[in-house]
Amino acid sequence: MNYKTLSTPALLSCVITLLCSYEEPKEKKGSKKDKDIQTFDVIIVPGVPFQDPAVKFVLKSRILWAKYLYDAGKTKNIIFSGSSVYTPYVEADIMKIYADSLGIPSGNVYRETQAEHSTENIYYSVMMARKLGFTNIAVATDKYQAIFLNMYLKKNFPEVSVIPIDYRKIDVFGDNWPEIDETPAYVENFVSLLDRENKATRFKGSMGKNIKFVQNDSTYENTQTPFQSGLVRMVKPVMSTSPFLSVIYNKATK
């Protein structure tokens, strides 16, 4: 979701071209690859800015990949994730509008509208998935973003799988892309993230440091070093016994 902070449109175009032209090595008949992807309770699809020419291809490919996985029975549900970040359209809402137009049952599609960075797409969507009772979770996105998110997932959500887009299975350049009414996703008095956060804050957000942690979620402890995590587990029970110490603890662990 945060391509603008990571690459220029020209670099992104080169990366996309490279990924689309890449052919994976042929595998022997009967291999694990031939058995295709396992079935998940839900897939998380991170958003990209709507009406941004630099990432139009990315938006289309992620939605078509989600549709392919649903139609193929590889996922029972979809969570589209993304707030209004660089353009005045809520990314999750835009993707759901497209999904509805493409015939994905609305009852199996959910919207997470808080995330403003890729790591937040994952965190808030996993929290939503857990609340909905889903346990077998995967992230469905392009290989470029999958590489970026891999370390974050391994550290914080090792149980979450990644399903990179297989461009051979979707028709990104076809003419079957629907026209939509985007007005329900439009945000009045919109202010871009570029005007709300400086580069340092945006970088922290990309690294997952701006996440507002859900109450009673232990993921925060997983984002620390082993020493920090152990210290938090030891100090937390003591701090919670005193209102004064609790204030200090909450300030120190923000």
- pLDDT tens readout for residues 76-110: 999 999 999 889 999 999 999 999 999 999 999 99
Whether residue 142 is predicted with pLDDT greater than 60 in this model: the reply is: yes
Question: What whole-number distance in Å separates Cα of residue 247 and Cα of residue 240?
Answer: 9
Range 144-150 contact pairs with CB under 8 angstroms and sequence separation of 24 or more: 144/12, 144/15, 144/16, 144/19, 145/46, 145/118, 148/6, 148/118, 149/118, 149/119, 149/122
Q: Residue 201: its pLDDT value, please?
A: 78
94-100-106 Cα angle (round to 5): 110
Q: Residue 16: its pLDDT value, please?
A: 45
Report if pTM > 0.85. Answer: no
Domain 3-21+35-206, classified CATH 3.40.50.620, yes or no: yes
Whether residue 232 is predicted with pLDDT greater than 60 in this model: the reply is: no
Comparing 21-30, 116-125, 173-182, which segment has the lowest mean pLDDT?
21-30
Whether residue 245 is predicted with pLDDT greater than 60 in this model: the reply is: no
Q: Which residue ranges make up each domain of the chain?
A: 3-21+35-206, 224-252
The whole-number average pLDDT for the span 174-201 is 85
- pLDDT tens readout for residues 188-219: 998 877 778 777 777 767 767 677 776 556 55
